[in-house]
Structure 1
Amino acid sequence: MTAAMGDREPKMRSGLVMAALLAGLLASACQSTGPTGELTTIDTAQGSEQNISSLTAVIDRNPQDPEAYNVRGSAYGRGGKYREALDDFNKAIALRPNFYQAYANRALIHRFLGDQQSALNDYNRSIQLNPSYDAAYIGRGNLYRRAGQVTLAFNDFQKAIQLDTTDARAYHNRGLIYQSQGQHAFAIEDFSSSISMSPSAPEPYNGRGLSYLAMNDEDNAFADFNTAIKLDGKVAESWANQALVYERRGEKDKAAKSYQQAVRLDPNYKPAVDGLARVKGS
């Protein structure tokens, strides 16, 4: 009996270690922003200097057009020019005080600039002006989620989904909340919905893969992590997730290579740094 227990103890310790590692990855996943970033309605090309110049020409021809300022503000936001974006959204709202889309767009810029209260005020105003505007609920939900107000965040994502949103972020972010609560079957369902709406985004594949892994469905988890890497090979999380599967399987060399790639992409991604040290030291 004693010998049998001795045989099981290393396996039990290994299982506990893997469970702890998975918990760390789940916590990291909960910090993600969603499948296609925050400004999902604006194509990345709209942040280009050429496009901004074209939008500026439109504004020069009609400086009283709030729509033009809203579109250029979104383009500035895509290009990381947050102060310029804020100025344009301010102008759009001054010209059209009930411009609920501009309030939601300005809220996001406030959030990027670290002014969370102003962001919340703008999301609230956008929803007050149009209680059926799904993007405002999703944006406010993200604000609540990052502030640790999980119930309020869940309610906002739920509301967006009830409004028949086609925005993948609502399902992705509700999935993250389910995942954080250990409700992995619901999380997998939401990540799958997000994937159907945004099949080229790696984030929901990573999210779903982690929930599969939490349910010991290693094959489906591995397939999702591999798909995430194929979609975008520059995401450190995807490589670290793949590495964890290799590590669980005892394939330390392959795990090390994947962790190394994750660290190259993001030297500050702790699950990858810790994972690499672990497999190199074992």
Structure 2
Amino acid sequence: MNLQPSDQPIEPGQDSEPASDDFLGWFQRGLKFAQLGFPDRAAESFEQAQHIEPEDATLQFNLGTAYLSLGNFVQAVTNLDRAISLDPSNSDAYGNRAVAHAALGQEELVEADVKIAISLGAPLEGIESVLAYVRERVNPDQD
């Protein structure tokens, strides 16, 4: 998860808006902004795509991840809940939701999501390192 804006400029035409009913256009635009390190613009594009296809699991995962990057943890949980309900085999959705729960101080929910994420193949070391980072930022005085 990249929390810093990218140094890469957006090329002319890269920021053009898709047609209002172009799900794939809005979704791909959101992915591009996420890759470039602009989670706010990614979330805006994913929200537009959500108006067209609200039941797309991959969209809900990416929208939740964008909100996670923005520090909007409650909204991240909402979208990651939707992603998981639409695709319960997405280990990354459980891992990202665990991170959002950690930022919200919901440790019991963190533990449950971590167990499921690992059972689905997510690497324990990766999840633990991100959780440690988030916990340190949320509670910097804790040992």
**TM-score w.r.t. structure 1 length?**
0.39
Cα deviations by residue, 1:223-245 (Å, 9 ceiling, x for unpaired): 1111111112xx43x44324777
Q: How many residues align?
A: 128
* TM-aligned CA distance change 1:165 to 1:117, over 3 Å: farther
* TM-aligned CA distance change 1:213 to 1:120, over 3 Å: same
- The structure showing larger relative contact order (alpha-carbon pairs under 8 Å, at least 6 residues apart) is 2
Gaps of 5+ in 1: 1-26, 32-115, 249-270, 272-282
Rounded to whole Å, the distance in 1 between the matches of 2:39 and 2:115 is 30
Partner secondary structure for residue 88 of structure 2: coil
**1:102-141 equivalences in 2 (<5 Å):** 120=14, 127-128=18-19, 131-141=20-30
Supply the AA of the counterpart residue of 1:138: F
Is the Cα–Cα contact under 8 Å of residues 138 and 169 in structure 1 kept in the other structure? no
* TM-aligned CA distance change 1:229 to 1:119, over 3 Å: farther
Partner secondary structure for residue 53 of structure 2: coil
Equivalent position of 1:240 in the other structure: 126
Is the Cα–Cα contact under 8 Å of residues 43 and 63 in structure 2 kept in the other structure? yes
* TM-aligned CA distance change 1:119 to 1:191, over 3 Å: farther
Runs of 4+, deviation exceeding 3 Å:
116-121, 242-245
**1:144-223 equivalences in 2 (<5 Å):** 144-223=33-112
C-alpha displacement of 1:191: 0.6
Is the Cα–Cα contact under 8 Å of residues 39 and 67 in structure 2 kept in the other structure? no
Gaps of 5+ in 2: 5-9, 134-143
Is the Cα–Cα contact under 8 Å of residues 195 and 204 in structure 1 kept in the other structure? yes
Is the Cα–Cα contact under 8 Å of residues 201 and 231 in structure 1 kept in the other structure? yes
Supply the AA of the counterpart residue of 2:102: L
Equivalent position of 2:137 in the other structure: none
Partner secondary structure for residue 204 of structure 1: helix
Higher helix share: 1
Q: Percent identity over the alignment?
A: 22
Is the Cα–Cα contact under 8 Å of residues 172 and 194 in structure 1 kept in the other structure? yes
**TM-score w.r.t. structure 2 length?**
0.72
Cα RMSD for the two superposed structures:
3.0
* TM-aligned CA distance change 1:148 to 1:218, over 3 Å: same
Rounded to whole Å, the distance in 2 between the matches of 1:175 and 1:220 is 17
